[in-house]
Structure 1
Amino acid sequence: MTQTTLRIATYNIHKGVQGLGPARRLEIHNLGHAVEQLDADVVCLQEVRKVHRREAQYFAHWPELPQAEFLAPEGYEAVYRTNAVTRHGEHGNALLSRWPVLTHQHEDMSDHRFEQRGLLHVELLLEERPVHVLVVHLGLIRASRLRQLQQLVRFVVREIPAAAPLLVAGDFNEWGPSIARILGPAGLVAHTQGRHPTFPSRMPLVQLDHVFARGLKPVGVTVPHGRNWWRMSDHLPLIAEFVWPDSP
């Protein structure tokens, strides 16, 4: 029997723009090539623009498509849901999948009025087996993040069958043991042991980006480095690989 490796990437793309003020530059086209290079079965994205009217006027080559659709490699299906509505547009989480998408939904995870946050839930079909994926982007305030993690666990219990394989990926804005401590009772375990710093991308010191799994066996994790990667976003992508528990 051939062992199928499931390759999952999570990447905060910083809305496709780097820099501040007049020095800011459009990176969404480079990010499109980068997503292809990840060669992941599923790409979980955070800080994805659906529309931004001011930036579309400022940058001559702003894509006509929403960023999730623009970044999807050929043959991938894009799922996007809005977390935050702002003066000039909106942004949220997205998932790009080689696998067929069965269903998807969104849950508001905003903990206070200063940050709009959300959870994207997508059910995929791989080799006739359903796999659930949650894409998250948690808050900047630690107390909020802990409450959002508890909300995530309640969502899993309420919405996802107990025996179903589950992946939770995203920018957790957290690098301590609290994530594993809160997600552990829901059967979710880290992709692998050890530190894999992803932030800040130029000189990564902490791991804010994680993949947790239930019902799948982790076999490896990588974080690409180099100038091309740190120029595109303030985060580096993280790629985790899994196999089915019954794989030889």
Structure 2
Amino acid sequence: MTSPAHTLRVATYNIHKGVQGIGPARRLEIHNLGHAIEQLDADIICLQEVRKMNRQAAARFTRWPEMPQADFLAPEGYTAVYETNAVTRHGEHGNALLTRWPVLHQRHQDISDHRFEQRGLLHVVIEVEGRPVHAIVVHLGLIKGSRVRQVAQLNEFIAREVPASEAVVVAGDFNDWGARMRYAMNAAGLRDSSDLRGPRTLTYPSRLPVAQLDFIYGRHLSPVACNVPRGPIWARMSDHLPLVTDFLLLN
């Protein structure tokens, strides 16, 4: 049996800025999300649509956290890393990474394809069992052409910034209907759980998922299990469901 010390659990979750519903029915879900993220028990949690601050929401919801959402959501003992993708009229939001392993380094790269969608990648180097593991959080564009160009930028970034011998995981909301970006990711040596036997890992929309928009890819990491938490509680917290993958860290 493989030692659990060499198993790495990675989760990705688009939290929809911690708020669900439309108009007067909008409700705050950030507190429920905090409990849910802790239940995932992941070594690395990659989050999208995370608010650093938002004046409008803070004025509307009496229980709006006083700290940035990434810090609020981090389970006890975890480090939170956040980078802004988009600056809006009332605040800003972006990608975040939560991890129980030591953080060695972080950086951000703007991968916006046009001025109407502000996108970025968050790169965090983590020390796992004395070895560096590179984790990259992404949230790709809504237009297919944008996603193609953003994946090309992502792969160029990995080739430039990540040594070929070191493990890397890429996770996030790819907005990838039909898993069309999988071919380019595989060509760059990044593999997800698509060849594992088991139930389909549909993540969107959360109430009745019909597609997988969220993906976790790894290099020098072998996927051994993958699941999507389901049920009424998960369905109400965000329009996406989280995706969780267990990897073996290869020598």
- Give a deviation string over 1:93-148, Cα, whole Å, max 9, x none: 00000000000000001000100000000000011000000000000111101110
In structure 2, give the amino acid aligned to 1:128. G
- 1:76 corresponds to 2:81: no
2:193 maps to which of 191, 204, 217? 191
Distance (Å, rounded) in 2 between the aligned partners of 1:244 and 1:36: 22
2:163 maps to which of 147, 161, 164? 161
Distance (Å, rounded) in 1 between the aligned partners of 2:241 and 2:119: 21
How many residue pairs end up in the alignment? Answer: 246
- 1:237 corresponds to 2:242: yes
1:94 maps to which of 93, 96, 103? 96
| Residue in 2 that maps onto 1:146 | 148
Distance (Å, rounded) in 1 between the aligned partners of 2:179 and 2:119: 22
1:218 maps to which of 207, 219, 223? 223
TM-aligned CA deviation for residue 180 of structure 1:
1.6
In structure 1, give the amino acid aligned to 2:131. R
In structure 2, give the amino acid aligned to 1:216. L
TM-aligned CA deviation for residue 176 of structure 1:
2.3
| Residue in 1 that maps onto 2:181 | 179
Q: How high is the sequence identity, in percent, across the aligned residues? A: 63
TM-aligned CA deviation for residue 70 of structure 1:
0.1
Distance (Å, rounded) in 2 between the aligned partners of 1:78 and 1:163: 26
Distance (Å, rounded) in 2 between the aligned partners of 1:75 and 1:241: 20
TM-aligned CA deviation for residue 193 of structure 1:
2.4
Distance (Å, rounded) in 2 between the aligned partners of 1:69 and 1:244: 27
C-alpha spacing 1:70/1:177, structure 2 compared with 1 (3 Å): closer
| Residue in 2 that maps onto 1:2 | 3
Distance (Å, rounded) in 2 between the aligned partners of 1:125 and 1:175: 33
In structure 1, give the amino acid aligned to 2:102. P
Distance (Å, rounded) in 2 between the aligned partners of 1:224 and 1:136: 21
TM-aligned CA deviation for residue 177 of structure 1:
4.0
2:69 maps to which of 63, 67, 70? 67
- Please provide the CA RMSD for this pair: 1.1
SS in 2 for 1:31: helix
Instruction: Check the 8 A contact 2:203/2:214 in 1, yes or no.
Output: yes
In structure 2, give the amino acid aligned to 1:162. A
Instruction: Check the 8 A contact 1:191/1:213 in 2, yes or no.
Output: no
2:127 maps to which of 125, 128, 147? 125
Report the TM-score, using the length of structure 2 for normalisation.
Answer: 0.96
Residues 30-69 of structure 1 aligned to structure 2 (within 5 Å): 30-69=32-71
Distance (Å, rounded) in 2 between the aligned partners of 1:161 and 1:208: 28
- Give a deviation string over 1:156-195, Cα, whole Å, max 9, x none: 1111111110000000000324212111221101134263
SS in 2 for 1:190: coil
TM-aligned CA deviation for residue 244 of structure 1:
2.1
In structure 2, give the amino acid aligned to 1:77. T
Gaps of at least 5 residues in structure 1 are: none
| Residue in 1 that maps onto 2:213 | 208
Distance (Å, rounded) in 1 between the aligned partners of 2:193 and 2:135: 14
Report the TM-score, using the length of structure 1 for normalisation.
Answer: 0.97
Distance (Å, rounded) in 1 between the aligned partners of 2:191 and 2:166: 15
TM-aligned CA deviation for residue 12 of structure 1:
0.2
In structure 2, give the amino acid aligned to 1:225. R
In structure 2, give the amino acid aligned to 1:197. L
Distance (Å, rounded) in 2 between the aligned partners of 1:238 and 1:157: 26
Distance (Å, rounded) in 2 between the aligned partners of 1:245 and 1:53: 45
TM-aligned CA deviation for residue 231 of structure 1:
0.3
SS in 2 for 1:220: strand
In structure 1, give the amino acid aligned to 2:133. V
1:22 maps to which of 4, 21, 24? 24
| Residue in 2 that maps onto 1:227 | 232
